[in-house]
Amino acid sequence: MTAPVVTAGPVLGIETSCDETAAAVLDPSGRVLAQALWSQVAEHARFGGVVPELAARAHLARLPGMVLSVLAEAGARLAAVAATTGPGLIGGLIVGANLAKGLALARNLPFYAINHLEAHALAARLPWLADPSPAFPYLTLLVSGGHCLLVETQGPGAHRVLGRTLDDAPGEAFDKVAKMLDLGWPGGPALERLAAEGDPRAVPLPRAMRGRLGCNFSFSGLKTAVATRLAARGGRLSRREQADVAASFQAAVAEQLADRARTALRMVPACETLVVSGGVAANAAVRVALATVAAQEGRRMVAPPPGLCTDNAVMVAWAAIERARAGDPGQDLFVPPRPRWELTEPSPARAASPAERG
């Protein structure tokens, strides 16, 4: 393997693991030279969730033009190309990874196969995001539509999982409750807006896992409690009552996240920072609850701005820069996209080439 060259120039990042088509070019210090993001929400909304085949086709339609335009805007010669290669929806991953590999091959550049979860976890270290940037190790709470993890982030490629959800991810719970309240899809942002009009103490809802040992999560009981509550009212709620349900649900999620984060912080005394990332970290009530816990435990909370909490390509390019700085020369072009890829599994350093496989 050749020595890492990525720090010699800009890096292109590509994100296509779910329903955001995104590309960004960062200089090696982490400055954003160009970025573009297209949310496919309108394509999927009438189905009430992401349709994988539609997502893959939409990535295919949009990504090539988007990459050309960010490259033109950045105007500098690339030093490396990175794409999310898992975990995620396989069709989109193939589109993003293949475009990145083609570009790497054509321009003879290193290719970085990025784990989407690691990209979320490292985004808080973008140098302009917090002063000082979170130093390793830190505790990461990753809360999105598909994931809920508490992780000790020790460095690129070095993560220790302390807890995870036993059922739904919090974003999934937000989306399902929003659907029950007829708020459309995706539900998180709409539910947060409605919650602003309600009273978070109005509706008693369960606080799953509170005070339990360990740092696992559970959201399905909460979701069912909301469903039962709504069914008992025959679905006839005034706007004010709906807002109370939304606010009470949001408070219950925020409290559970805060309670689990407190337990985890006590398990990792060396971690000075609590990093919160993923789509649900865009929620203001969640951010306030976690900042409060961090302060009570004598730590600092760092969360990317909402636009970098949800899926984006800036975090993908940045993850490649972090990996290169840590000595990773990149992956060869035979590394396949992976729908499932645990954060603790090693990076796909090299897959056997067809010749090696014989």
Give the residue ranges of DSSP H helices in the chain: 41-44, 52-74, 90-107, 116-122, 170-180, 188-195, 220-232, 239-267, 284-296, 306-309, 314-325, 354-357
Stretch that binds ligand KG4, among 2-10, 76-84, 183-191, 294-302 (CB under 6 A): 183-191
Question: Looking at this protein, which amino acid is placed at residue 164?
Answer: R
> How far apart (Å, rounded) are the C-alpha atoms in residues 301 and 225?
30
Residues near Zn ion (CB under 5 A), total: 2
Q: Give yes or no for residue 329 binding ligand KG4 (CB under 6 A).
A: no
> Can you read off the two tokens belonging to residue 63?
């990504």
Asked if residue 154 lies in contact with residue 137, where contact means CB atoms within 8 angstroms, the answer is yes
* 18 near ligand KG4, rule: CB under 6 A: yes
The one among 151, 181, 275, 280 contacting ligand KG4 by CB under 6 A = 280
Task: Write out the two tokens for 307.
Answer: 């636009």
Local structure of 194: helix, strand or coil: helix
In this chain, which of 38, 111, 174, 219 binds ligand KG4, going by CB under 6 A? 174
Asked if 218 interacts with ligand KG4 (CB under 6 A), we say no
Distances (CA, A) of 21 to 18, 150, 294, 313: 8, 26, 33, 8
Q: How far is the CB of 246 from ligand KG4 (least distance, A)?
A: 11
Regarding 172 and contact with Zn ion (CB under 5 A), the answer is no
Does 308 contact ligand KG4 by CB under 6 A? no
| Interaction between residue 311 and Zn ion (CB under 5 A) | yes
**Element containing residue 1 per DSSP (H, E):** none
Question: Which residues inside 184-203 make contact with ligand KG4, applying CB under 6 A?
Answer: 186-189, 192
- Considering CB distances under 5 to 8 angstroms, the limit depending on partner class, which of ligand KG4, Zn ion, none binds residue 171? ligand KG4
Element (H, E) at 301: strand 300-302
Query: 179 and 171 in contact (C-beta within 8 Å)?
Result: no
Measure Cα distances from 328 to 8, 20, 46, 118 in Å. Answer: 14, 27, 42, 14
Nearer to ligand KG4 (CB atom), residue 28 or residue 184:
184
In the range 20-59, which residues lie near Zn ion by CB under 5 A? none
DSSP 8-state code for residue 213? S
Residues 134-153, interacting with Zn ion (CB under 5 A)? 144
Q: Quick one: 152 or 192, whose CB is closer to ligand KG4?
A: 192
Is 282 one of the binding residues for ligand KG4 (CB under 6 A)? Answer: yes
- Stretch of residues binding ligand KG4 (CB under 6 A), selected from 4-12, 94-102, 139-147, 289-297: 139-147
Site of interaction with ligand KG4 (CB under 6 A) = 18, 144-146, 171, 174-175, 186-189, 192, 278-280, 282-283, 310-311
Q: Which residues bind Zn ion (CB under 5 A)?
A: 144, 311
